[in-house]
Structures are given as structure tokens and as C-alpha cells.
Chains A and B, each alone.
With several copies, the nearest count.
Chain A
Amino acid sequence: MRTNINKRRIVQIEETIAETPTVKTLVFKDSLSYSAKPGQFLMIWIPRIEEIPMSVMINSKEGYAAVTIRKFGFGSTALFERKKGDLIGLRGPYGKKFTIRKNCKKILIIGGGTGLVPLLRLVSYISKKKIKSTIVMGARTKEEVFFEKLTRKIIDETGSLLIVCTDDGSYGIKGSTVSVMSKLVRDDTFDCVYTCGPELMMKGVVELSNQNSLPVQASLERYMKCGIGICGSCCLDSSLVCQDGTVFNEKQLSTMLDFGISYRDKDGRKVNYA
């Protein structure tokens, strides 16, 4: 099994979907990625350019999967620019998944940016399980909202609710995901909270969950080289995000002194979040 996921597959990009001017989804065929668990990620090789971790995005076709990239630095921009027919390499999926307790009936999902990728796989999963959810999607501004249509399609007829919010109010509710969440948890009851997105946002979500005694799981990001627990570059306190995470629960998060405070740079030095 492990040998299996570690073996690099070379896949062809079969479709590209422009989500926003800076976010793109690349679709490819790969059975291991197709059956990835919500929260798992791939190491994506952009030949002779970079290898970067990417959450596994869902795709409607059987046997297919995708990645959704925000154009950012060197590697992500190169990946963003790959076209239909180009080859990329994959290994994984790696990491722990979001877990759902047995008698969980209603969950709250808070995501921002490409943090929505693992959350959508979760939404898709729970929709099949008939678990209801309220999904809060945050973006800075209207142009940066994506996955809305796709999410509506997935939750269609499930009784789940999608709330979009933007910092500048140009679309959906005005305000941050955390402020939306604070209203939601006041007015409604949830069994668990799931979050992925910018770390400071997640920090807010986790604190709010703790204050409301809600179990919470967050999928964290750290700089990753190996993805398999060798290099240590992804360490966060005494955890390896690639192996022990990326999904951590409220108990694990409570012991992480650096969560929401600092991350380690490519050379391993700690850098504080702005």
C-alpha cells in the first residue's frame, strides 16, 4: 500500500478549469487520488521545476481527481500555467483525513481560498452519508469567490446550507468567515467544526469552537519537502504536519504553541505570521 502511494505516477492534464483569474483546477486520471480521503494531499511534480503539496480536489468522473492551484510563487505559478495535455507527476495521497464521529448529525464547515479544496471532498463525502452541514466560504472580494456553483450542486437536495462572505461585502455577506461563524454558533447547534484556509482564519475558528465547546478539526499547511515524515521541514511543535496531520483536532491543536503564531521557512527558521 505505502509502496503504492509513494510510486510516482505521470499523468496528463485532461482538462483545466479557470476558477478565478489566479485560481485554476487541473483534472487528471489517477485512481489513487480518486479514492483519496477528505483532507489528504498529493506531492505534485512539475517536471524540472518544482514539487509542491496540493490537496486532492474532487472530480465528478470516476477514476479522476484534480488539484486547484492558487498562482503564488515560482512552483505554483508554473503549475497554474500547465495546459491540457501537459504531464505532471504525482505521489500520495498522504496525510490523515478529516474524521467524523458516529452520531454526528450537523456540521459546520469554514473554508477560505484553496482551503476549500479538502473541504469540498468532505462535503461531497458527508452529502452521501446524509449528514447536514452549513458551509461558510470566505473570500476577500467577489472576484476571489470560487467553487460556489460546484458546492451548490453537491449539496443540492441534502438540506445543507452554503453561506458566502466577502471581506469587502462585494458578494454575499459582508464580513470574515469567523464573524459569520460566531453568529451561526450562537443561533444554531453543530456537532463538529471543520476548517481549512489561511492559518490566522483557522486560529479564529478554533478559538471560537473552543469557546463554544465544539469539537473542531483543522487542516494545516507547512513547508513540505518529503511529505512522508523524513525531512522534518513541516514540523509544528512536536508534530509533523505531513504525517500526524494535516488534519488535527482541538486536543492536538491546543498543545501547539506555534499554531497561528509562527511557521518554519525553507531553511527551518521560525517566522511569525504577520
Chain B
Amino acid sequence: MNFNDKNYKLSVQLDKIHLRNPTMLASGILGISQSIFERLYDENIGAVVTKSISVNPMKGYPNPTIIPLGGGSYLNAVGLSNPGVAAFSKELSENRNIPIMISLVGSSEKEFSKMVKVFDSLKIIGYEINLSCPHVSKMGMELGDDPEAVNKIVRAVRINTNKPISVKVGVGSIDVVELARVAIEAGANIITAINTLRAMSIDIETMMPVLSNLIGGLSGNAIKPIGIRCVYEISKKLQVPVIGCGGVSSWQDVIEYMIAGASAVQIGSILGSSGLKIFTHITKDLKKYVEKKGLRNISELIGIAHKYQ
């Protein structure tokens, strides 16, 4: 990587992964189509994370599954709908140059092993293990809240791949730093923080909960300060590469996450108001900022806030 080259001002390194810029697509957002991934890449995205994939296809919950709450915040209980490992490995089979990270979800270490064995021959940059989806039982957060399960699952993935592994953590009933520590000790290379937070919305006219699943996950603007806090704590205490996620909607948010300690950021819900071109806008603005501040490379910002006590 030549930091003097102008084009590399935005490039970042996450374990063995080299990205042309720190923006990534968050899992579960537009994440099931190779054609969409290619379009996002044309919009200058750094990398994409796929929808969380399970061994078998999942239909997810009935609608409503996604509620725009206003003010850039969203509530969802999609129920991890996804095409399953067979169809999805076919979907990605033609991938050549898109930096794709596959998000995995499952209910036992066996399931994870099985998926990695299939996916590992694809041209992908790594895996993200979703241990933090807050609204599907026996998957996601229910495992993430159990350190023993986390340990087993991460090991199962580690054994089957040499590619970088990120573990996606959330605000559940175990301290986020503790969860990240267990994941890293089990062989994860990166931590993604954070997933959505368990939340609910009730319509007062009909007096009924809106999500079909009653409870879902809060994302977007509302959770940004919580995401910043988690990234700060994890990166400061564990000194591992962290991907920030939660409420990013502008280049300023990217910078804030990086100063907090993120090496890259994922962008999700905001696409509901900005469209895919937000990646082009943000990367353009990041470049301007980096030049204005006279940085050789944007990574100089990572974790600057750690020095304050």
C-alpha cells in the first residue's frame, strides 16, 4: 500500500483485508444479490457484507418487518429471511472483484462449519458471524449472550477457514467488551459493533404492536451514540480492528466512528432515505476532509480518542 499515492488516502486495512475506503454495507441491507453488490461497488463502496445466511433457506417473519420510525431511525424484525447456503453460494459463484464478506447465522457450531465449508471456495474477503440479531430465538443474540456458545462457534468457523473472521456483537445481556474478548480469544480477527437493540413500537390508534414479531431491533440515527461507545470501549480495551456500525448517515459519522476506534464502518438503515449513491457522496466527502486536514491516510484517525482519560 503506497500511502503517498493520492488514491490510497482512504484505504484501510482490517486484519488481512485491504479496503479502498472504510465504507461497507451492513448485513441485512440489500444483501442477497450479486448484481446489487456490483452496483454498490460502482458507487464506490469499500466492501459489502451479505445478508446473514443460514444453512437452510428462511422465509423470515410476516410483514410488517421494517418500520421507519422517523428521524432516521428504524425498527425491524425481518426474522433473518435468507436464501440459505446452497442458493447463496450459487448467487456469489460468479463473483470476481467485489470485496464480499459473508454474514453467517446459525444455531449450532455444526451449522457454521457446514456453511464455511461450502463458502470458503468462493472469492470472498472473509466472514462476519452474526451473534447479535436480537429477535430470532436460538440464533444471533441468544448465542451471543452465552460465552461458551460464542467460543464454540468461532472455533468451528476458524477451523474451516484461513480467511479473516469478524464477530458481530450487540447490546445484549453480556458486556460487549467481554463478548468481543471471548470471540477474539476463540480466533476471530475483527469485531463488528453493533447490531440493533431490542425495541418495540405500538400503534396507539389500533392499540396494537406494529411488528408481526412484536419485538424487533432498533437501528439508524437513534443508536449511533451507543455504537460509538461500543466501538470506543472494544477498540480501546482489546486493541483489535473494529468495524463500526449503527446510525452512520454522513461522512461526519464515519469520522466520528474512526476517531472512536473503528477501522471501517458499515452503513445500513440510512439507505432507506439516501439510496445507494450515499457511498459515492460519503467517500467523496471523506477524501475532501482527509485532504483538508492534511492526513496522509484516513487511518491516522483510528482511535485518536483513546488518548483522553
A residues contacting B by CB (< 8 A) are 2-3, 6-8, 10, 43, 45, 47-52, 74-75, 87, 89, 91, 225-226, 228-233, 235, 237-238, 240, 243, 264, 266-270
Contacts and interface: CB of A to CB of B under 8 A. Distances in A.
A50 B210 CA distance: 10
Contact of A267 (B39, B60, B212): B60
Nearest to B81: A267
A230 B271 contact: yes
Given A87-B206, A238-B39, A50 B68 contact: no
B134 to A, nearest CB: 17
Contacts, number: 123
A244 B208 CA distance: 32
A266 B273 contact: no
Contacts of B66: 225-226, 228, 230-231
For B38, B64, B70, the residue with the greatest tally of chain A CB atoms inside 10 Å of its CB is: B64
20 contacts: A8-B203, A10-B203, A50-B212, A75-B63, A91-B68, A225-B65, A228-B272, A229-B275, A230-B76, A231-B30, A232-B32, A235-B30, A238-B38, A238-B39, A240-B36, A266-B59, A267-B82, A267-B83, A268-B57, A269-B57
Contacts of A269: 57, 83-84, 87
Nearest to A267: B57
A268 B50 CA distance: 12
Contact of B208 (A48, A75, A225): A48
A231 B65 contact: yes
B225 interface: no
Which bracket fits the contact residues of B? 35 or more
Contacts of A49: 62
A42 B38 CA distance: 29
Closest 9 CB pairs of A and B: A232-B30, A10-B205, A51-B63, A6-B68, A51-B64, A238-B35, A268-B83, A226-B66, A267-B57
A202 to B, nearest CB: 20
A47 B269 contact: no
B167 to A, nearest CB: 23
A230 B39 contact: no
B294 interface: no
Nearest to B86: A269
